[in-house]
A = this chain, B = another copy of it.
Amino acid sequence: MTQTAAPSDSAARPRERRQRVQAAETGMAVLKALARLGGRASLTALATEVDEQPSKVHRYLVSMIEAGIVVQDSGSGHYRLGLEALYIGLAAMRQADPIRVAEPALVRLREQLGVTCFIAVMGNKGPTIVRFEEPGLPVTVNVRVGSVMSLLWSATGRVFLGLQDDAQVRRLALEELDGADAASRAALDAHDPLGALQREVRAAGCSIVIDTNLKGISAISAPIFNHAGQVCGALTALGTTGGFDAAAQGPIAIALLAEARAASRELGYQPARAA
């Protein structure tokens, strides 16, 4: 990396600093514009997008080509995001952690609605609680951090069953079904127990259970999606069936879904693109 020596004239420094930051900001703006344009654009399109002169945008592109972040296609002369941009994105993805982005939501849900709430992610045994918040007067419930939730009878599990359609989830769900007693099975669709649950969750975009998994407990669970449109976590609120508003249009469901959507957006989920 080449750097000119800092000017000895101290009066020049603030101006130089300001310029440097501005130049870095312009560089970032050009980079973001190239991403917004789909990762590939002509100089003209890019200059229009950032509302700058093409000659100026070109100088920034030269820097980015130098850095391996942008590549110029030999045929079309168009600029596209290069390998270093891909590495930056991969590192950003590693930092996009559903637990970190959803943790503040737990505190808000507990404080604003007084509900017990938690974040679960898919573990090797099933959906597993990784963060748990409860109000001052907690509901007595036998789940805590580390608890593995039922895929078939818990709201949390149904979110994964309905929206994470992979072989592991199916296998765990079938194992659970095989080991279930008649009373539990009776709560499910007789002909297509898994399919019926999946269709229900997909239609509603969340799962609500009342006395299904635990007697006297109601729960609402909403999916957290990642940049690839995959469910990477579930945000769940629960309470005693008498004192917990489990209505799909009730304040708890609305707040929970809004928090799950906000967490998903923070992980790079773009519903329009994923659809």
Write the residues of chain A forming the contact surface with B, with a CB cutoff of 8 angstroms.
1-4, 16-29, 31-32, 34-36, 38-40, 50-51, 59-60, 62-64, 66-69, 80-96, 167, 227, 265-268
Contacts of A39 in B (CB 8 A): 91-95
Closest to A100 in B: B73
- Name the contact of A29 in the complex, choosing from B1, B4, B35 (C-beta under 8 A): B1
Jot down 10 A-B pairs with beta carbons below 8 A, ordered by A: A1-B26, A21-B63, A24-B63, A32-B68, A32-B88, A36-B87, A38-B91, A85-B91, A86-B267, A89-B92
Q: Would you call A60 and B92 a contact (CB within 8 A)?
A: no
Closest to A26 in B: B1
Closest to A74 in B: B104
- Name the contact of A27 in the complex, choosing from B24, B50, B85, B227 (C-beta under 8 A): B24
Q: Which of A3, A22, A25, A50 lies at the interface centre, i.e. has the most chain B CB atoms within 10 A of its CB?
A: A25
- Name the contact of A92 in the complex, choosing from B86, B94, B266 (C-beta under 8 A): B86
Report the bound CA distance from A28 to B67 in whole Å: 7
Report the bound CA distance from A227 to B85 in whole Å: 12
Known: A19-B19, A87-B32. A95 touches B80 (CB 8 A): yes
Grouping DSSP codes into helix (H, G, I), strand (E, B) and loop, the A interface class, with mixed when no group exceeds half, is: helix
Report the bound CA distance from A80 to B64 in whole Å: 21
Closest to A20 in B: B23
Q: Would you call B25 and A2 a contact (CB within 8 A)?
A: yes
Known: A20-B19, A62-B21, A63-B21. A34 touches B1 (CB 8 A): no
Q: Would you call B50 and A25 a contact (CB within 8 A)?
A: no
Chain B nearest Cβ from A247, distance in angstroms: 32
Q: Which of A19, A28, A66 lies at the interface centre, i.e. has the most chain B CB atoms within 10 A of its CB?
A: A28
Closest to A24 in B: B27
Report the bound CA distance from A59 to B68 in whole Å: 22
Contacts of A268 in B (CB 8 A): 83, 86-87, 90
Report the bound CA distance from A35 to B94 in whole Å: 10
Closest to A59 in B: B21
Contacts of A82 in B (CB 8 A): 92
Q: Would you call A66 and B1 a contact (CB within 8 A)?
A: no
Contacts of A27 in B (CB 8 A): 23-24, 27-28
Q: Would you call B28 and A69 a contact (CB within 8 A)?
A: yes
